[in-house]
Structure 1
């Protein structure tokens, strides 16, 4: 299967009518590219002709700026995946990528104007209006284009007529996969197999069995099939070679279906290692440039926050010291990145003689171990502020899954016993705040359901990390602190 080409499975498999796809999907996407290129140019020039702006200089300058912007947008939109399959059929994803490309185009023009000292030659009113009108026009154009390609897709315009060779378990699994995914642009013609009729079912997953390899080649010669997917066990190397060698003489695409085990990891990307395709089962999240960006984000923001709140830290430290005897800071062992232990800093909120370092019992509402000042600190999350020093030391991030002590329990069971893949949270650094916390899953995990929900939110953050998501979580954290829930 071509992983870059979506598929529309028919409601009921039917034989081909002798006609191939009405329009290649690539041609439709090319037309969308041309439309958006023209929209950018038309938005800028129309403001000159129909707007109230008096060109500050030669009108040819505006034409050059418009052309440069249209070309820059085309390059940026392409590099950001604005014309990928998912962006063509998902309006939300398409809009997100188009607006990002348009914003980057505007930033590019501003930068070039500053560096070339040419910004004074263009009306600022025209430029601002162009950014707003151009962005709105691009959103409208993408909405219309998405409606158009969806309509063509639903009519089967992009569909290729596909035959499956192999009626065994592998062919069954492949046919079921195609029929279950309505984004594919495939019409399943039928299934073919060379084995004796008494060893074959009448149909496979509702797709008719149409004959042997000779029958398949005959239909190909009649122009009724565009693509053949060979669904034979990879271990049957000799049989595979025989079938493929005969199909290689026909003018259709011939592809090899995944082996049975590959369906388990069907969403995993395939990369080329040398000349050999290999499947990526798991990536290290937030790695490479992303890890460097997150580390810079942590250090810069933590430094700024510490410079702004040091008076608050001094007041809280004094309050803790005056309220009860014992140290100001509480250092508790927690598990961090790659399950490595570290000392997590917090303002002490419990009586010194009732602190727990092993076999820890989570704090609960009206917990007698909590001091008067500690109760206030916990409700306002001020007790977490010393973890900024953990961030500066590299043990934690500002945003990430909250670190837990190894002995913490939910419903009387260890966290790792409740969720077998709990250690997956440790694939990134723990954070002072996180997606689970701002979504309301903070505080005591007295039931297994609460732990599972927290775990699900943590995994969502790990798999969807971005700087924008971090900033969004930090902003929501301010609201969570001002309106605390489940904190005691």
Structure 2
């Protein structure tokens, strides 16, 4: 700390060369054209089987799909800032948008009874070609945007008014967030009595509010972030009144307490901005989409695997006395108990419905058929009926019995956030399972890892993520680990 800080001139940093909004608009237009172009490519490849009289119908379908894709991509957030520099997020939202577009077109064609008028080969070629072109172009654009960002092409020149603890924490946040397009030049502050430092890290305190207005008039600053305690309402009003006369963006930083929830979204409650600390996940339209996904995919799976279910039931009856199915209480959505349905894999007299112990390697309770169906996860297949009933989902955190333990302690005693996994319906498979965290949770660390993956799934759910987990599940079943 120093009693008085000399007024330092703001460096003449070059203004952002290209607005990021312009680049995002170009990406929107390009991907719309790619949808149209991929449809045209498919038309050319299947021109021999497409009659000239029906060409207009194909062109209308292509143009309509382009508009629909643009709308869905916008709603899903394909062009949000966080998807411009993260290829994983971009691809996830891009494939979801393209998949939903294709699904809508197929459904519409079926309902209007015009599907027979279009070549299936053309439609499949278009879907694959479009997906490849969209993924390839977005990968190239993301790499290019990252390179431009590293060179500061999109950065706006910003300063913080308020060099106290609040401003210092804001500066740390800005410089530690690689998604922001801000070039932070330093601080301004009216307090010249030693209450604020001359320099914080390598960021200088340039001067007072009047010095800030002068620097703005010289065209050296694009954005001012006011970081004063919200309790100092009169002081904030005075500073903002002076800055309001200048042609720059002015923002009010959150109060100190808000930094603990910096990753939470800010929404408007009427005209009042509020932080959303926790949101009900997979709600509204998302809940309808996920339920439709569960029902449609479950019916398709049952139509394919019903012979496996019949053979398994017969094998269980021949192997040991007792019922084919085993019902066990599990904790589901909102901590409500429901009965999970499984093929019986243990001797009937040793099956537990209370004080449940997880199966361990070489468990004497497991029958010969039970060992096989547990190893191959066939014992879980009757849970498809739980999915149809609505107690479970195909993908979600795996349901645990209330009495199960890790290292002798109940799950909720080990991890305080354990109950958060019950914000959504439990699943037949989940992100934790395909990442290798399945089977016995004999240590507290295994349980923590499983919970971390479950919460990651809840916070990042999408149809594309579900399909990816289901795809990974196939390989997890082929090469099982920790299943006994």
Task: Name the TM-score class by shorter chain.
Answer: 0.7 to 0.9
Which runs of 5 or more residues in structure 2 are unaligned? 1-7
Q: How many residues end up aligned between the 2 structures?
A: 475
Correspondence 1:485 to 2:468: no
The CA deviation string for residues 296-334 of structure 1, in whole angstroms up to 9 with x for no partner, is: 343444455556555554554454445444444333222
Equivalences for 1:323-334 in 2 at 5 Å?
323-334=319-330
Residue in 1 that maps onto 2:187? 191
Determine the structure 1 residue equivalent to 2:22.
27
Alignment check: 8 A CA contact 1:53 1:126 kept:
no
Q: Give the distance between the partners of 2:47 and 2:314, measured in 1 at CA.
A: 63
After superposition, the C-alpha distances for 1:135-171 in whole angstroms (9 at most, x for unaligned) are 6665565455445443433332322221211111110
2:437: which partner in 1? 441
* TM-score normalised to structure 1 length: 0.81
Match of 1:268 among 261, 264, 271: 264
The aligned runs of 1:452-471 (5 Å cut-off) are 452-471=448-467
* Residues 56 and 123 in structure 1, CA contact (< 8 A), matched pair in contact too: no
In terms of mean alpha carbon deviation, does 71-80 or 469-478 score higher? Answer: 71-80
> Could you give the per-residue CA deviations for residues 188-232 of structure 1, whole angstroms, max 9, x where no partner exists?
222111223322212124310112222222222222222211101
Q: CA deviation at 1:101?
A: 5.5
When residues 298 and 323 of structure 1 are mapped into structure 2, their CA distance, relative to the original with a 3 A threshold, is: same
Q: Distance in 2 between matches of 1:460 and 1:78?
A: 24
Check conservation: 2:224, 2:248, Cα contact below 8 A.
yes
CA contact (8 A) 1:110 1:119 kept: no
Contact 1:175 1:205 in 2 (8 A): no
Gaps of 5+ in 1: 1-12
TM normalised by structure 2 equals 0.82
- 1:421 aligned counterpart, secondary structure: helix
Shift of 1:278: 1.4
Aligned to 1:223, what secondary structure does the other structure show? Answer: coil
Matched, 1:288 2:284: yes
The within-5 A match list for 1:301-320 is: 301-303=297-299, 305-306=301-302, 309=305, 312-320=308-316
Note the aligned Cα RMSD (angstroms). Answer: 4.0
Partner of 1:177: 173
CA distance in 1 between partners of 2:463 and 2:292 (Å): 11
- How many angstroms apart in 2 are the aligned matches of 1:470 and 1:257? 37
From 431, 445, 458, the counterpart of 2:427: 431
Tell me if the contact between 1:47 and 1:53 (Cα under 8 Å) persists in the aligned partners: no
Q: 1:106 to 1:269 in 2, by over 3 A?
A: same
Which residue in 1 is equivalent to 2:370? 374
Pick one of 220, 239, 245 that aligns with 1:224: 220
Matches within 5 A, 1:398-413: 398-413=394-409
Separation (CA, whole Å) in 1 of partners of 2:59 and 2:209: 60
State the distance in 2 between where 1:217 and 1:92 align.
42
Q: Is 1:17 matched up with 2:12?
A: yes
Alignment map for 1:44-443 (pairs within 5 Å): 57=52, 75=71, 77-94=73-90, 97=93, 141-303=137-299, 305-306=301-302, 309=305, 312-443=308-439
Call closer, same or farther: CA 1:252–1:123 in 2, change over 3 Å.
Answer: same
